[in-house]
């Protein structure tokens, strides 16, 4: 594999190409010229018209002196744009102002309101005189006015007061008998059929009466067929069969709970009494009428675990102790090429101080031990401060969390937030993550950077008592960190109003947009109170961003900037990746060898494919005197959190995990990742091995390659390793390049379609790829 970050420094894109290269100037010896990009080109692809600026970045300019609106996260920027108004002023606006001349205007004078004793200029419908409305007409019935009664066509009264009703008159004919002088409801001859006319009855198809008066009672045969049995001659409510046909029962109790059975309509559904309300999982009522919407019952009727997690610490020491100290290769971060594409790309920041951040944030950044921003932070902080939509794709462990938390908090602190507590909360920032543990970690980071400020971060996630989290939320919430399922649930229960949302952030965004979470994200983004894209800002972060997911992401964003660093979508160059060929039945022995020889007392995460295997392997290791624990979707949330805590504290040094722990988790001292089972999806491989070798620390991953199962992925694996400048094991190389070998393609598509490369697809004019990947079926993550 490549030795260090030097290997991933790519040459800056040639000036004629799209994109911007941000090679930092310290080490390259080449100073970029001052000023902004040199010219722009417009590249159009099939998906959308996207302007891509090109040229090299100028000398970084201090935000304070930057003259363009985007680069300077200063108060001036805040005051000049549509978010610039401090929140407090929102309380002073229209709601408190008297509104001129509307319905609610209480003054009887000039405003022209309808209310009040004074008269406006509109005339009474009855007598046509001004100064009163028809219902107060003192002249009612006394004639006057020019509008004629519908019944007798005489002026001076309306049809309901007609003194001549029934006596004929008027030119409009009754629908029933077609005679003039009365309306159908007063028809003296309703079923005589004597009327005639050319309108026909829906039931029997005869003229002269309408269907409810049909003398055939449904026995007649019109051309229309019954919805139940499909026969002609009667309507469904009179169906003699009471069922039949292929009509489905669509709505039993609610549209969500229907049996979809044939032969009856929903109100006759035989299962109506058995279908469970999805809120409390009890029968006998619809969710709308649910008496216990926050029930803690599971779907199978068992009592849900009553788990109330301990909230994030408020102790300064504990808060700032969390996180990993940067390692020996952190210095190499400066050499990583930062690529930024999009239109009107904002100036990158060179230091936290130069970004114009508020003192409180700078203090907290310092307390966290951050001396300088990582490349993804340099790019993303500038883009978010400039209030642009963003996709940021950077290697695992390179500080993406702070890359969005810091600028977003800076904007909230500058603009002010509403001091709020109440039944319905209006967060300004919504961050969604795929797993509970990652959400907890993000929330903790948010508490860290918000330390000593007015900002309140609140977390909601599954597997915990809802009422507890709801009351946390209702105590005030500026930054909401959530898993998708719990957020959707709370939205359905009306806990949130999104009208104040400025930022919607998806962490591990490629995962959030795939088929597993995609529909939830769609619901969240399309919530009626959520400001539309372009009004709210949408930011997406991940170490991998397949092109087909970029196509989905584009639907949530407007004119977004794409930030990438180093080898995009590749594995972390600080992780030494080793592979052992190993048949399925040899895996246990091999694992023991690895743990005894290499890991010993060190910390390792052992990734397996299924929850069952996780339990099995953890039990096996414990039986062999290894301090192991496990985390997967079938464990109770309290058990999951205990397992993670014990692993972090070193009480257990081996954590056996499914993919639920593959992404985002930032655990100090993880020296090894073992892929007991390789994942089918190589993006997950990138994330798994990224649990070690974080922020410039060195790490090692050992993967057991079972040719029978993993063979089909060999080409893609070689492609990934090559692109990441990692060593390709000889056996893998032989497998793909030997005579009759599988061959490989650098942009080999992953399971669902597109390549795993994480370049900005707009620059390459790529078409969106195939369908998004399905979620691993057996995991329920949030
Ligand atoms: N500028 C910085 N200087 C030093 N340490 C930093 C800096 N930024 C972030 N870190 C630390 O780096 C570690 C990794 O950060 P983070 O979890 O945000 O990485 P990530 O890029 O989101 O990783 P992943 O892709 O695995 O989710 C954290 O412990 C964080 O505190």
From ligand 1's centre to the CA of 170, what distance in Å? 84
Same domain, 471 and 369: yes
CA-proximal residue: ligand 1, atom 16 (nearest): 399
Domain membership of residue 347 (yes or no) is: yes
From ligand 1's centre to the CA of 645, what distance in Å? 19
CA-proximal residue: ligand 1, atom 31 (nearest): 323
CA-proximal residue: ligand 1, atom 8 (nearest): 399
Same domain, 348 and 467: yes
Same domain, 612 and 531: no
Whether this model's ipTM surpasses 0.95 comes out as yes
Run means of pLDDT, 10 residues per run, the chain, 782 residues: 28 32 36 31 29 33 32 32 38 28 30 33 62 64 52 68 55 66 70 50 67 59 59 69 51 49 65 67 72 66 76 85 88 89 95 96 97 97 98 96 98 89 92 97 97 96 92 95 96 94 98 92 96 97 93 96 89 96 96 92 95 96 95 94 96 97 97 97 96 96 97 95 94 78 44 48 50 36 48
CATH of the domain at 357: 3.40.50.300
Mutate to test the pocket of ligand 1, among 336, 665, 695 (most ligand atoms within 8 A of CB): 695
**Segments forming the whole domain that contains residue 57:** 1-147
Same domain, 506 and 418: yes
Same domain, 636 and 553: no
State the DSSP string of 448-508: HHTTTSS--EEEE-TTS-HHHHHHHHHT--SEEEEEHHHHHHHHHTT-B--TT--EEEEET
Same domain, 639 and 724: yes
From ligand 1's centre to the CA of 341, what distance in Å? 23
Residue 297, strand partner residues: 303
Nearest residue to 647 via CA among 669, 625, 678, 662: 669
What is the atom index within ligand 1 of the atom nearest the CA of 441?
A: 17
From ligand 1's centre to the CA of 370, what distance in Å? 10
Same domain, 623 and 654: yes
Mutate to test the pocket of ligand 1, among 399, 659, 683, 691 (most ligand atoms within 8 A of CB): 399
CA-proximal residue: ligand 1, atom 14 (nearest): 397
Domain membership of residue 301 (yes or no) is: no
Torsion, Cα 346 349 352 357, to 10 degrees, reads: -30
CA-proximal residue: ligand 1, atom 15 (nearest): 399
Domain membership of residue 211 (yes or no) is: no
From ligand 1's centre to the CA of 266, what distance in Å? 54
Same domain, 483 and 583: no
Domain membership of residue 647 (yes or no) is: yes
Residue keyed to tokens 């979508």:
569
- This prediction has a pTM of 0.66
Domain membership of residue 7 (yes or no) is: yes
From ligand 1's centre to the CA of 281, what distance in Å? 41
CA-proximal residue: ligand 1, atom 22 (nearest): 400
Spell out a b/e string for 432-466, using b for 16 or more CB atoms within 10 Å of the CB, else e: bbbbbbbbbbbbbbbbbbbbebebbbbbbbbbbbb
The answer to whether 720 and 573 have CB atoms below 8 angstroms apart is: no
Q: At 699, give phi and psi (nearest 5°).
A: -145, 170
Query: Of 124, 147, 170, which residue constitutes the final position of a domain?
Result: 147
Mutate to test the pocket of ligand 1, among 319, 320, 322, 323 (most ligand atoms within 8 A of CB): 323
From ligand 1's centre to the CA of 731, what distance in Å? 34
H or E stretch covering 49: strand 49-53
The answer to whether 746 and 722 have CB atoms below 8 angstroms apart is: yes
Same domain, 496 and 624: no
The rounded distance, in Å, linking the Cα atoms of 591 and 616 is 13
The secondary structure of residue 6, as a DSSP letter, is G
Same domain, 347 and 425: yes
From ligand 1's centre to the CA of 332, what distance in Å? 15
Domain membership of residue 722 (yes or no) is: yes
H or E stretch covering 645: helix 637-649
Same domain, 545 and 670: no
Pocket residues for ligand 1 (CB within 6 Å)?
323-324, 326, 370, 373-374, 377, 394, 396-402, 543, 664, 666, 690, 694-695
Domain membership of residue 422 (yes or no) is: yes
The pLDDT of residue 736 is 87
The answer to whether 332 and 372 have CB atoms below 8 angstroms apart is: no
CA-proximal residue: ligand 1, atom 3 (nearest): 370
Structural domains of the chain, count: 3
Which are the contacts of 746, defined by CB distance < 8 A and separation ≥ 6?
719, 722, 723
Query: Of 565, 589, 616, which residue constitutes the final position of a domain?
Result: 565
The pLDDT of residue 198 is 53
The encoded tokens of residue 3 equal 């030795």
The pLDDT of residue 93 is 28
What is the atom index within ligand 1 of the atom nearest the CA of 664?
A: 27
The pLDDT of residue 285 is 73
CA-proximal residue: ligand 1, atom 23 (nearest): 397
CA-proximal residue: ligand 1, atom 25 (nearest): 396
Cα separation of the two ends of the chain? 36
Domain membership of residue 521 (yes or no) is: yes
What is the atom index within ligand 1 of the atom nearest the CA of 376?
A: 21
From ligand 1's centre to the CA of 396, what distance in Å? 8
Nearest residue to 508 via CA among 612, 599, 414, 437: 437
What is the atom index within ligand 1 of the atom nearest the CA of 373?
A: 1
CA-proximal residue: ligand 1, atom 9 (nearest): 399
What is the atom index within ligand 1 of the atom nearest the CA of 394?
A: 21
The encoded tokens of residue 635 equal 């464990």
Same domain, 348 and 449: yes
Query: Of 565, 594, 627, which residue constitutes the final position of a domain?
Result: 565
Mutate to test the pocket of ligand 1, among 403, 404, 666 (most ligand atoms within 8 A of CB): 666
From ligand 1's centre to the CA of 197, what distance in Å? 81
The rounded distance, in Å, linking the Cα atoms of 647 and 629 is 8
């Amino acid at each position: 594999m490549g030795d260090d970050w030097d290997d991933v420094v790519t040459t800056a894109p040639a000036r004629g190409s799209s994109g911007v290269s941000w090679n930092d100037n310290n080490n390259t010896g080449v100073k970029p010229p001052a000023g902004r990009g040199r010219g722009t080109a417009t590249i159009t692809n099939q998906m959308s018209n996207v302007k891509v600026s090109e040229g090299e970045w100028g000398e970084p300019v201090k935000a304070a002196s930057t003259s363009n609106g985007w680069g300077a996260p200063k108060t001036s920027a805040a005051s000049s744009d549509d978010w610039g108004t401090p929140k407090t002023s929102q309380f002073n606006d229209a709601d408190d102002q008297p509104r001129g001349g509307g319905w609610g205007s209480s003054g009887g004078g000039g405003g022209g309101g309808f209310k009040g004793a004074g008269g406006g200029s509109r005339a009474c419908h009855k007598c046509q005189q001004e100064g009163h409305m028809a219902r107060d007409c003192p002249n009612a019935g006394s004639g006057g006015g020019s509008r004629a009664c519908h019944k007798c066509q005489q002026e001076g009264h309306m049809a309901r007061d007609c003194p001549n009703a029934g006596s004929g008159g008027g030119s409009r004919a009754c629908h029933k008998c077609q005679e003039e002088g009365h309306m159908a409801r007063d028809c003296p001859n309703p079923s005589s059929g004597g009327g005639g006319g050319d309108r026909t009855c829906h039931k029997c198809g005869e003229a002269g009466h309408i269907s409810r008066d049909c003398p055939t009672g449904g026995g007649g045969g019109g051309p229309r067929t019954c919805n139940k049995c499909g026969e002609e001659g009667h309507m469904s409510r009179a169906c003699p069969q009471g069922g039949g046909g292929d009509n489905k029962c669509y709505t039993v109790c609610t549209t969500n709970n229907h049996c979809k059975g044939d032969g009856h309509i929903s109100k006759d559904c035989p299962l109506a009494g058995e279908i469970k309300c999805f809120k409390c999982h009890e029968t006998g009522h619809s969710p709308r009428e649910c008496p216990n919407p926050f029930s803690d019952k599971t779907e199978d009727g068992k009592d849900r675990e009553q788990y109330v997690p301990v909230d994030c610490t408020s102790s300064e020491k504990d808060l700032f102790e969390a996180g990993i100290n940067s390692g020996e290769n952190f210095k190499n971060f400066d050499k990583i090429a930062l690529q930024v594409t999009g239109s009107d790309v904002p100036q990158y920041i060179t230091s936290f101080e130069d970004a114009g951040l508020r003192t409180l944030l700078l203090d907290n950044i310092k307390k966290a031990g951050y001396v300088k921003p990582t490349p993804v932070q340099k790019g993303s902080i500038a883009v978010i401060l400039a209030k642009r939509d963003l996709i940021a794709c950077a290697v695992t462990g390179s500080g993406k969390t702070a890359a969005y938390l810091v600028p977003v908090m800076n904007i909230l602190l500058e603009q002010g937030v509403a001091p709020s507590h109440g039944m319905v909360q209006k967060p300004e920032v919504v961050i969604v993550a795929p797993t509970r543990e990652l959400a907890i970690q993000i929330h903790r980071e948010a508490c860290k950077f918000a330390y000593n400020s007015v900002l309140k971060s609140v977390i909601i996630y599954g597997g915990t008592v809802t009422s507890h989290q709801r009351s946390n939320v209702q105590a005030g919430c500026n930054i909401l960190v959530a898993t998708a399922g719990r957020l959707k649930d709370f939205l359905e229960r009306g806990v949130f109003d999104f009208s104040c949302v400025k930022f919607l952030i998806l962490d591990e965004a490629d995962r959030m947009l795939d088929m597993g979470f995609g529909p939830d994200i769609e619901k969240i983004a399309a919530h009626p109170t959520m400001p539309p894209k372009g009004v709210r800002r949408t930011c997406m972060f991940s170490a991998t961003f397949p092109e087909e997911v970029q196509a989905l992401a584009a639907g949530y964003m407007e004119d977004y900037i794409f930030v990438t660093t180093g080898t995009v979508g590749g594995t972390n160059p600080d992780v030494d990746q080793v592979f052992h060929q190993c048949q399925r039945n040899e895996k246990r022995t091999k694992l023991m060898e690895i743990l005894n020889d290499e890991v010993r007392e060190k910390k390792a995460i052992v990734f397996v494919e299924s929850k069952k295997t996780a339990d099995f392997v953890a039990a096996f290791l414990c039986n062999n005197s290894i301090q192991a624990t496990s985390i997967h979707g079938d464990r109770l949330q309290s058990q999951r959190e205990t397992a993670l805590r014990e692993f972090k504290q070193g009480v257990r040094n081996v954590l056996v995990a499914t993919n639920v722990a593959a992404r985002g988790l930032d655990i100090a001292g993880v020296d090894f990742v073992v892929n007991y089972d390789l994942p089918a999806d190589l993006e997950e491989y990138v994330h798994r091995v990224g649990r070690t070798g974080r922020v410039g620390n060195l790490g090692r991953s050992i993967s057991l390659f079972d040719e029978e199962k993993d063979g089909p992925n060999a080409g893609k694996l070689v492609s990934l390793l090559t692109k990441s400048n990692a060593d390709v094991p000889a056996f893998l190389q032989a497998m793909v390049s030997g005579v009759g070998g599988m061959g490989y393609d650098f942009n080999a598509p992953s399971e669902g379609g597109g390549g795993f490369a994480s370049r900005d697809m707009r620059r390459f004019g790529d078409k969106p790829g195939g369908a998004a990947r399905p979620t691993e079926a057996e995991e329920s993550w949030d």
